[in-house]
Amino acid sequence: MNDQKIAQEILSLVGGSTNINKVWHCATRLRIVPINMDIIDRENLKKISGVLGVVINGEQVQIVIGNHVSDVYHEFTSLLNNTEDLHKTRTIDKVQNKNTTSNKNLISSILSAIVGCITPLIPVLVAGGMGKCLILMAKMFNLISDKSITYQIILLIFDSAFYFLPVFVSLAAAKQFNTNSYLAAMVGCTLLNPTFVKLVASGKALSIFGMPVMSIPYNSTIIPSIMAIWVMSYVKRFLDKYLWASIKSFMSPLLTIIIIVPMTMIIIGPAMTAVSVGISKIIFFLSSKLGPLTLALLALIYPWIVTTGMHSALAIAGLDSINKTGIDPLTRALVLMHNITQAAATLAVAIKTKNTDFRGTAISASLTALFSGITEPCLYGVTLRLHKPMYACA
């Protein structure tokens, strides 16, 4: 089945364009936030040729497609854009909406929002991480000197993926929280403005409007930007609703920035940085107390975390740990073990099976997991489907 046909069937089974609140994709999943979850035809979605699985997680419907999910996403959004009622107010029976909303789990919704802000960044993180890995390996094998301008420029290119994370996160969060992406990017850029960076590095006491600004470096951070843009979405909606129409076009963005940026520097940034530090401390505490057992326990449950689509949230802990201490004692090794075990189990199934078509699927999934770190095709196409290989991986 071609990508357009898959997109058409998915759109039909999720209730049509009038039931779509948000849609985006990660490495292998088409993620949809419907207006009314009750009308999602989950069973028939699973039967679509080309769909590996369906996961309902909080307010999200995650349709596992595989490596060509971006092509299906393109066709899906094209169908939405060609639908006349796309820009109309999307309303479904209020009683149904009320019931659906009341059934949402708060923690699941929060995690879904975080994942929604992280998953669009996967290409950036992959490019930055793989690029830095390759240039550092080239240096290790004496193929290039770290004193050369070429080395320094290539390194800064890929390092930019991590240094400017607040900007990338702000853009993704703006889409997640339905607010202006350019104002969100401006918030992220402000935290990395060279003048502000110099002020922070100077060690001088900083203040704005007479209130203290904590000297916190925001490069490579994630959580402060997510929270700042979430708050910004409410501030901007409030201003757009209550400002006079004659001044709203210029006063709304101006007031939004005047309110949000100082608030981020004074309250949101320090508070969320404390959360980030807390996450890192928990990781190191567990590691110091339990040693290798910590990794073993996490490895036991990680495959099941991946099936829920919430594994991207663990990237925050790893990145924060690297940013604060320079090392990540758990999450990198955890992901590496998961990728290798899923690839190995799937390849073993490919060798043992007598089904030619299934063998081809398994080999493709195994290579994808081994070389790109994307394990959903292994999970939904092989190991989870056969149960025993999944238990072996865990």
What per-residue confidence (pLDDT) applies to 308? 63
- Residue-by-residue DSSP string for 38-53: GG--HHHHHTSTT--E
- Count how many residues are written for the chain: 394
What per-residue confidence (pLDDT) applies to 100? 45
Domain boundaries, the chain: 3-104, 164-288, 294-393
CA angle 37, 43, 49 (to 5 degrees): 115
Please answer whether residues 299 and 246 qualify as being in contact, where contact means their C-beta atoms are separated by less than 8 angstroms.
Answer: no
Query: For residue 164, what are its two tokens?
Result: 């400017």
Tell whether the model's pLDDT for residue 278 goes beyond 50: yes
What per-residue confidence (pLDDT) applies to 394? 87
pLDDT digit string (tens) for 64-85?
Answer: 888 788 899 999 998 887 754 4
Tell whether the model's pLDDT for residue 41 goes beyond 70: yes
- Which range among 39-43, 51-55, 110-114, 223-227 shows the weakest confidence by mean pLDDT? 110-114
Query: For residue 238, what are its two tokens?
Result: 């409030």
Q: Kindly state the average pLDDT of the residues 101-126.
A: 68
What per-residue confidence (pLDDT) applies to 90? 43
Please answer whether residues 67 and 368 qualify as being in contact, where contact means their C-beta atoms are separated by less than 8 angstroms.
Answer: yes
In the predicted model, what is the mean pLDDT of the chain?
83
Tell whether the model's pLDDT for residue 309 goes beyond 70: no
- Confidence bin at 97 (pLDDT 50/70/90): very low
Q: Residue 378's closest CA among 26, 59, 66, 30?
A: 66
pLDDT digit string (tens) for 227-276?
Answer: 999 999 999 999 999 999 899 999 999 999 999 999 999 999 888 877 76
Q: Kindly state the average pLDDT of the residues 119-130.
A: 78
Q: Kindly state the average pLDDT of the residues 3-30.
A: 89
Tell whether the model's pLDDT for residue 137 goes beyond 80: yes
- Give the Cα separation of 331 and 378 in Å (integer): 20
Q: Kindly state the average pLDDT of the residues 316-322.
A: 70
Place of tokens 């357009």: 4
What per-residue confidence (pLDDT) applies to 198? 93
Phi, psi of 327 (to 5 degrees): -135, 160
Q: Residue 282's closest CA among 312, 324, 311, 310?
A: 324
What per-residue confidence (pLDDT) applies to 89? 39
Share of the chain above pLDDT 70, in %: 87
User: CATH class for domain 3-104?
Assistant: alpha beta
